[in-house]
Amino acid sequence: MLHQRLAFACLAALAGFASAEGESDVHQLTQDTFGDFVKANDLVLAEFFAPWCGHCKALAPEYEEAATSLKEKDIKLAKVDCTEEADLCKEFGVEGYPTLKVFRGPENVSPYTGQRKAAAITSYMVKQSLPAVSLLTKETLEDFKTADNVVLVAYIAADDKASNETFTGIAEELRDTYLFGGVNDAEVAKAEGVEAPAIVLYKSFDEGKNIYKEKFDAEAIKAFAKTAATPLVGEVGPETYSGYMAAGIPLAYIFAETEEERTKLGSELRPIAEKFKGKINFATIDAKNFGAHAGNLNLKTDKFPSFAIQEIEKNQKFPFDQEAEITHDAIAKFVEDFSAGKIEPSIKSEPIPETQEGPVTVVVAKSYDDIVLDDTKDVLVEFYAPWCGHCKALAPKYEELASQYAGSEHKDKVVIAKVDATLNDVPDEIQGFPTIKLYPAGDKKSPVTYSGSRTVEDLIEFIAENGKYKASISPKEEMDEAAPAATEGSEEKKQEEKDEL
């Protein structure tokens, strides 16, 4: 959610590609050498970069460190300068920098989807080098347990075909996330304190391991892994933020400016995190570097330590009173009340307009449900930002659209509305500005996002096709030429916002 994105400063120094080629464990490739290199090596991670790219410069030392770590495992890291090798980069569909791809020979290519830190790159590529499930013995089990921060080992009898197939399927799906091992020896399972079929998640933090003994159901096992692999009190930062957002359960933030204070508060609140494990994630956050994010949770950005819970699915914020002291008992009661639904969410909202001026209906957070979720009307909503150039270009066309519907036979069935998503909390996922969505009458839970050209004619067609009332009108002559459906929020911009906003 763009208006919710974590305000992280980029921590990586803009170091150049520091080491000389002779000293580097990263292999510089060209059009002439690339093909032979990927043929000669079973597994290669290749970075396609441009020397002027800031993100590439930030990645460089991390990439070098990972290359050195992976050297002993015979996993090669390479780089291609796209300003020098434009044809090669075009061949592999490179559209932005840096682009990282995993090669298993020249024909088997997949995108790298991990984080851009040395440890994450190393972990990801080690997972790629192994089979989906590594068959383990008594001799190899101990080393495997510590091969990554989190590993899952299934203890299954060799003739238990159903359990083996279920676990292998999960491993294939999640191989980029976890290491998976399998043990068929009942004596080894007994020594680990389990009886087949069972799964043990070994981890380098908290209690060290968790055991799954229930029925081998794929969804249940994936849910177990996600919960067990999340630290009781983790840390929110550029590398972990997206994971917490993807978890889909509320996230409790502990803001503090010093490491000592974060450690102290994390320890004090740990029993609460343990009680709500799997229901609410807890994490500390460096308020000195990322304190601006407190404002996204409707907290003051100059008063720490502070605490807040974000209900991710509904995009709701529950800030703890910043005048009150953060103690175990105070936070325990706050979390209990939140869990019981006794706390109302904090809503950032502009005042409800006393009168609606102009043809476009102005929506604010406090009037959102009454207008957008009015089940009797098709409501087209533009989510905009005041600074957005595309939004400003759209404004006269959007007003013309609203005027035409207001003067038509459908004036009581179709609403053309807009909301400033920077000043109002809205429950919708906004990836760029402007975002336009239609909320059909009778089906408000299934809004349709508009992706066509921004012309009055095309917007009318969109409403007619997707609204309940199929409200088509004959558009008047357009005032300007068609505007393309661009948004201020390209993939590069989104990456910058995640890393640096």
Give residue-wise pLDDT tens across range 62-98: 999 999 999 999 999 999 999 999 999 999 989 889 9
Q: Known catalytic residue: 82? A: no
Give the chain's length: 501
Write the pLDDT tens digit of every residue in 384-399: 999 999 999 999 999 9
Average pLDDT in the 356-364 region? 95
Of the listed 10, 82, 89, 391, which one is catalytic?
Answer: 391
Confidence of residue 495 (pLDDT cuts 50, 70, 90): very low
pLDDT, one tens digit per residue, over 96-139 is 899 999 998 888 898 998 889 999 999 999 988 889 899 999 99
Identify which of 202, 238, 11, 25 has the alpha carbon closest to the alpha carbon of residue 122.
25
Output the pLDDT for position 463.
97
pLDDT of res. 247: 87
Contact at 8 Å (CB) between 232 and 282?
yes
Q: What count of other Cβ atoms lies within 10 Å of the Cβ of residue 39?
A: 13
| Cα 116 from Cα 297, distance rounded (Å) | 27
Q: What is the pTM of this model?
A: 0.64
Q: What H or E segment, with its residue span, contains residue 405?
A: helix 389-406
Please report which confidence band the pLDDT of residue 243 belongs to, taking 50, 70 and 90 as the band edges.
confident
Asked whether the beta carbons of 176 and 233 are under 8 A apart, the reply is: no
Please determine, for residue 173, whether its predicted confidence score (pLDDT) is greater than 60: yes
**What is d(CA 228, CA 250) in angstroms, rounded to the nearest whole number?**
16
Q: What is the mean pLDDT of residues 365-393?
A: 95
The active-site residue out of 10, 82, 89, 388 is 388
**56 pLDDT exceeds 70?**
yes
Select which of 10, 56, 82, 89 is catalytic: 56
In the residue annotation, 388 being an active-site residue is answered as: yes
Q: Compute the distance between CA of residue 325 and CA of residue 347 in angstroms, rounded to an integer.
A: 23
Tell how far CA 63 is from the center of its chain.
Answer: 22
d(CA 357, CA 242): 40
What is the reported pLDDT for 154? 97
Go through 55-87 and write b for each residue having 16 or more CB atoms within 10 A of its CB, e for each that does not: bbbbbbbbbbbbbbbbeeeebbbbbbbbeebee
The dihedral over CA atoms of 100, 101, 106, 107, expressed in degrees to the nearest 10, equals: -150
Phi, psi values for residue 166, rounded to 5°: -65, -45
- Average of per-residue pLDDT across 222-239: 92
Give the position of tokens 């004619």.
Answer: 457
pLDDT band for 476, please (50, 70, 90 cuts). Answer: low
As a three-state string, the secondary structure of 432-473 is: CECEEEEECCCCCCCCEECCCCECHHHHHHHHHHHCCCCCCC
Residue 491 predicted with pLDDT over 50:
no
Residue 20 has pLDDT above 80, yes or no: no
